[in-house]
Amino acid sequence: MPDNQTVGHIIALEGGIASIRFADRVPPIGRRLATLSEPEMTIEVAGLPGPDTARGLVLDPRPGLCIGMGVRDTGGPLTVPVGESLLGRMLNVFGEAIDGRPAPEGAARRSIHGAPVPLSRRRVDAGIFETGIKAIDLLCPLERGGKAGLFGGAGVGKTVLITEMIHNMVAEYEGVSLFCGIGERCREAEELYREMDAAGVLERTVMVFGQMNESPGVRFRVGHAAMTMAEYFRDDRRRDVLLMIDNIFRFVQAGSEVSGLLGRIPSRVGYQPTLGTELAGLEERICSTDSGSMTSIQAVYVPADDFTDPAATHTFSHLSASIVLSRKKASEGLYPAIDPLKSVSKMLTPGTVSARHYRVARQVRNTLAEYEDLKDIIAMLGLEELTETDRATVRRARQLERFLTQPFFSTEAMTGQAGRLVSLDDTLASCEAILRDEFEDMDEGKFYMIGTAGDLPRAGAQTDAA
């Protein structure tokens, strides 16, 4: 160990937090400390409670960790490797390989604490990012170079939807894809790795995981580690980057755990008082510059389906598209369980999307909204009591509801149905045909889990007749 390195000793251990006393100078917040034991353990300074004491997050605690253990100041922050050698690899928060292969070679290391790009260097790209998923491309299109969130409670299909987007988009995407798993289950990480390998897109993808069984410090920092790697490909290699995060709520949750361990007074609903700042520190690093674009898709768990929860409301403010998943839709078997009336995108405006797209999306949304208003009357009086016009609205709405379902490639093994990728033009043409009542005599069940209107029986004959 170099003579000029500062050495302290652990005086207290509480959960994943270590208090370290130093005889001379105390390391600043954000500094990486390392134990003098073998194997070495990493501690990141997170607080300075006294003039000679630092409190830090133990990122990789082991059974040998104890009071009195020596700790050295490494002189720098936590770093991760960056470079082309990371492509096709699965890494942890330290940049170490967890895919059973040798460590990436020749990779330079950079601090995980990057600064957001200044506004003067940011670029706004108003293009649409097609996913091949009908409900998303029609009603809440994603922005190329923007941030989209998938909001939903437990078990409504967030991970399935993000996996399908990976399948549909990565194969067509010409840039680099980076998947960040925050609080992921080990099973999901392993399955995703195999699926991307089978799809032949792994060699253009970097996967970074801070898994569910790891310390809150790891789950709190893995997002920053992934951002550093993504920024390298955007700024140094001048590539377009597709960044997928599952799940951003676990980042907030880890921050709450860390805040509690550090003894901070909790804020609303028990969250950390620094929630907004911490989330913004991560989200504001996601942007496009003249060097390249960075498009982000994030799954957001909503506790108890409460969309007024602070974690959900703080996340909403950073996004250009919010895709809301409905438990009611999921219970009816309408997958993907996207709520068309609550899902929004700033891209769905005249001038940003085509006039045809805007018109069809408005008509579909209005039809579904009218049907929602009529549901109470139908429940009390029955469908027969409605006017002829209202009955036609209900028929179109039910056909549209079922048409917006879609068989996924990622669920083929479970459902036995082949996945379908549907272009925006085909989605618009099919919705226009439904709205024109070209299928008014067809049972609504025929529209369930199809690709386009061309898959319907008699669809071709009816179109010719029209």
What percent of the chain is helix, strand and coil (3-state, nearest 5)? 40, 25, 40
105 burial type by CB count under 10 A (0-12 exposed, 13-18 middle, 19+ buried): exposed
Q: Which of 164, 184, 283, 438 is catalytic?
A: 184
Paired with 151 in beta bridges are: 300, 324
Rounded to whole angstroms, how far apart are CA atoms 466 and 461? 9
Supply φ then ψ for residue 296, to 5 degrees. Answer: -125, 135
- DSSP assignment of 318-362, as one string? T-SEEEEB-HHHHHTT-SS-B-TTT-EETT-SBTTB-HHHHHHHH
Rounded to whole angstroms, how far apart are CA atoms 279 and 293? 21
Rounded to whole angstroms, how far apart are CA atoms 196 and 210? 19
Which H helix or E strand runs over 448? none
- Amino acid identity of residue 205, one-letter, is T
Q: Which of 25, 62, 101, 185 is catalytic?
A: 185
Under 8 Å CB-to-CB from 180, ≥6 apart: which residues?
208, 209, 222, 223, 226, 243, 244, 245, 246
Under 8 Å CB-to-CB from 99, ≥6 apart: which residues?
89, 90, 193
Q: How far is CA 364 from CA 97, 129, 173, 431, in A?
A: 47, 21, 29, 8
440 is catalytic: no
185 is catalytic: yes
Rounded to whole angstroms, how far apart are CA atoms 443 and 449? 14
Q: Which of 158, 204, 285, 329 is catalytic?
A: 158
The DSSP call for residue 45 is: E
Residues classed as catalytic:
158, 184-185
